[in-house]
A and B are shown apart, each in its own frame.
Chain A
Amino acid sequence: MNKPQRVWRLPKDVNTDNLAPGAYMKLPVAQIAKHTLESVRPEFASSVVKGDLIAAGANFGIGSSREQAAGVLLELGVAAVIAPSFSGLFFRNAFNLGLLLLTCPKAELIGEGDTVYLRRETKNVLTQGKIHTFFIQTPAGEDLECTPIPEFLMQMIDQGGLLNVLKSKLK
């Protein structure tokens, strides 16, 4: 995972209508994705490349339960979204689809166009079992620690979403 990744900087309070606008909700995810963030960053959907990261302000993903809001980011190749806080509903949807969200109190230190490196550390904690902690290395040389992710959520990222987790469980 130690490869350079480019950052798109977004403001706080990015909502599900910004990510998956209602007017396009009848369409498949690949079609909705063409309109992702058009009300915030019109060039985003056509310019983002696979492996890019989003670093946003607080409350990313507030609004609707539509999981297409997370699905479009996966569709566009976004590797992870980093923010100081997320909508709880969006958080569940993202992991269920296999989109990594990193809760990082110091996410504001990451700037537009920065190249950063993600590092993952896994350890066993007596009370919580296995947990996964991500660190983000910024161009300024800082190593930003993210809130640990429990094993059952990390499994969804590693296996590509709840659907795949269920597939392997039901086998």
Chain B
Amino acid sequence: MINMQTHPSQTLAHPQTLAQKLIAKSAGLERVGTDDIVTCKVDLAMFHDSSGPRRLKPMLESLGAKIWDTSKVVLVLDHYVPATDAQSTQIVQLTRQVAKEWRLPNVIDSEGICHIVLPERGHLKPGMLCVGGDSHSPTAGAFGTYTFGIGATEMLGVVVTGEIWVKVPQTLRMNWSGTLQSGVCAKDMMLHMIAKMGMNGGAYQAVEFDGPAVQKLNMQERMTLSNMSAELGAQVGLIAPDQVTIDYLRNTRSDLTDEWVREALGHWRSDEGSQSQLFEFSASTLSPQVAAPHSPENSAPVESYGRERFNVAYLGACTGAKLEDLRAAAQVLKGRKVASGVKLLVAPASAREQRQAEEEGIMKCLIDAGATTLANSCGACAGYGFNFSELDRVISSTARNFKGRMGPSSVDVFLASPYTVAASAVRGELCDPREYLI
């Protein structure tokens, strides 16, 4: 299924991939070649309460340096909130104090997970190059931005210089034909791709999601694809902007002129004739996917599993508790109850999305089914605060099920879509959500 793809058209002398165009723009170059190492100007730097001030402040002070441009920085408190013990209280207090000291204009405190609130608050638009102090930063690639995760020391380099180096990647084009069945979604597409390619199959290259099945997805579903590019080991997970992107952006920011939109839609896509490695997938035949412990790579169609019982069903995190994920779960849970002995936990990915879900009756539907609502933060997915207990068997809509990540090493975590998590909560064991959606 792998072959080098070159479009036959010869209209452009130097066709470039979307990744190359984004990097070239930020490097101030007309074009870039694969494997070139270039220095890029950073349009936006995001960090959170774990990777941000507590790590950056001492290093900045030892350099006697200041942040290059605070208007390009977004700080999000989402990992240690709500604080559960003395240590997390201290980290959160320090973060808030430093935010004031640095006079950061963009601070989003306990109102949702960084990768969700960035687009929600209108911080993204196609053509940007952004870095985030978190591995799921590629989520922003769904908006046609070149966004990748970095560690705290590299973030120090960014906030001091406003620049970062990039080695121009190859593009791996994930072409999805067909139409997803009801009850199958972007999360299943990702688990399938990770199973096929492995957790480092992306080899730190640029993944670009493409094809009719991707174009039919709404922005939040597209974000799930870009988000889990991290689990493919790609540097970025890009989707060329189209009218769906523009419609979302128009709701979040007011600066998009018709002329800008025309240019953006024309420019921010891979040129015909640009080189990428092509991988073909069919959406129409895809079943709901489930990843067994302890890796997202252990994914297989739901029907290939035997009986798997769960006592916890978790809808959470940037990967699996966006508004669209809650809507999916509600479709299954409407008028049903969670099986006895099963705890259904829901941590909506942002406060605004939770309010929207309340207005739509989605939250009521989840709660009526027996769900317990948790804070709008990373929660158990990060494993930093709230954790599962020793004997728990969990089915979760999050991104990673590494041994010991979400609790003691004895906890077994299965990953699946919000549909499958909801269906399994009702059944008390692994269940194909299509059974409830006929």
B384 touches A167 (CB 8 A): no
Instruction: Report A95-121 residues with CB < 8 Å from chain B CB.
Output: 96-97
**Shortest CB–CB separation between residue B320 and chain A, in angstroms?**
17
B400 touches A65 (CB 8 A): no
**Docked pose: A93 CA to B80 CA in angstroms:** 22
| Docked CA distance A22–B80 (Å) | 11
Nearest CB to that of A98 among chain B residues? Answer: B153
Contact B153 A88 (CB under 8 A): no
Per-residue CB contact flags for chain A residues 74-102 toward chain B (1 = under 8 Å, else 0) read 00000000000101110111001100000
Inter-subunit contact B384/A22 (CB<8 Å):
yes
Majority-rule SS of B interface residues: loop
* Interface contact B165-A87, CB-CB below 8 Å: no
Q: Which residues does chain A contribute within 8 Å of B200, judged by CB atoms?
A: 13, 58-59, 62, 85, 87
A150: which of B37, B150, B199, B403 is its contact (CB, 8 Å)?
B37
Is B295's beta carbon under 8 Å from chain A?
yes
Interface residues, chain A, CB within 8 Å of chain B? 13, 15, 17-18, 21-23, 25-27, 39, 58-59, 62-67, 70, 85, 87-89, 91-93, 96-97, 150, 152, 161-163, 166-167, 170
Across the A-B interface, the 9 shortest Cβ-Cβ residue pairs: A88-B204, A67-B151, A22-B383, A93-B151, A59-B200, A65-B135, A26-B87, A65-B149, A96-B153
Known A-B contacts A39-B409, A150-B37; the reply to A166 vs B157 at CB < 8 A is yes
Which residues of chain A are within 8 angstroms of B59 by Cβ–Cβ distance? 163
Count, chain B residues at interface, CB 8 A: 47
Interface assignment of B88: CB less than 8 Å from any CB of chain A: yes
Chain A CB within 10 A, most for which of B137, B153, B403? B153
Q: Which residue of A lies closest to B235 (CB)?
A: A88
Task: Say yes or no: B63 contacts A65, CB within 8 Å.
Answer: no
A136 to B339, CA, bound (A): 57
For B233, list chain A residues within 8 Å (CB): 59, 62, 87-88
Give 8 pairs: A residue, B residue, CB < 8 Å, sorted on A: A22-B382, A23-B404, A64-B135, A88-B204, A150-B37, A163-B153, A166-B157, A167-B62
Question: Which A-chain residue is minimally distant from B86 (CB atoms)?
Answer: A26
Contacts of A91 in B (CB 8 A): 204
**In the complex, A27 Cα to B87 Cα: how many Å?**
8
Q: Give the distance to chain A from B400, nearest Cβ to Cβ, in Å.
A: 7
